[in-house]
Structure 1
């Protein structure tokens, strides 16, 4: 089953169960997917949908920080709930050891020798790790590896 089909089925289930908060989040996700498809005039595959979900989670993570700084715990809780719903559609996250192994493979395959090759390594890893790892953490690990 494709990811888009699974999201649509979950929307129908949320309607039947009268889960209004979950339904609203799923509708936001479907709207974001549809918007991307219309803008680019393509049918999104699972990898592209995962990238959309990842972007939405990052937006909510930023919102949580801002709401907590403004002492609005109620709004931060709503954003956290949406993050949890969205995270349910992401693939299983990778462990630190798996990420380190992928970084080593990417460094070896690109022949990266220093920080000037960081873009090459990130380009190789981005497709493999989107939705499965926090790319800011991966970036820091790559920097540490290339500067050593």
Structure 2
């Protein structure tokens, strides 16, 4: 028997559908030359810059490609075995609950949830050493970032 979540009214905490609690939100890429990387995705895939600013002490660019998203981090790739991919971002509703359930389920979570902008995130390795950033956007982010995450509508 499959568990069916209760129907929910659309709200800022459930922006992608009444029953959707999890969705793949972005891929995060290292960029040796961030301007050339922006130009490539803009030219060939109609990407658009949604936000460009400092995050974690380095320039980060959030881009939209259709309904998909990517983050670019201005730094050469560290591990050529993983190519330029740093992590996959999984936006969730109920971050702390998921963290607690994963921890109780025996998932290796070496670091606690890091609180950030009224939300937070934690990192976890998926099979084959795929790094996931599991996050909840947080309500005190820049309005452009909230719109980018699908949590608020533009004015």
TM over 0.5: no
TM-score of the two chains, using structure 1 as the length reference? 0.28
State the TM-score, normalizing by the size of structure 2: 0.27
Larger Rg: 1
Instruction: Name the structure where strand makes up a greater proportion of residues.
Output: 2
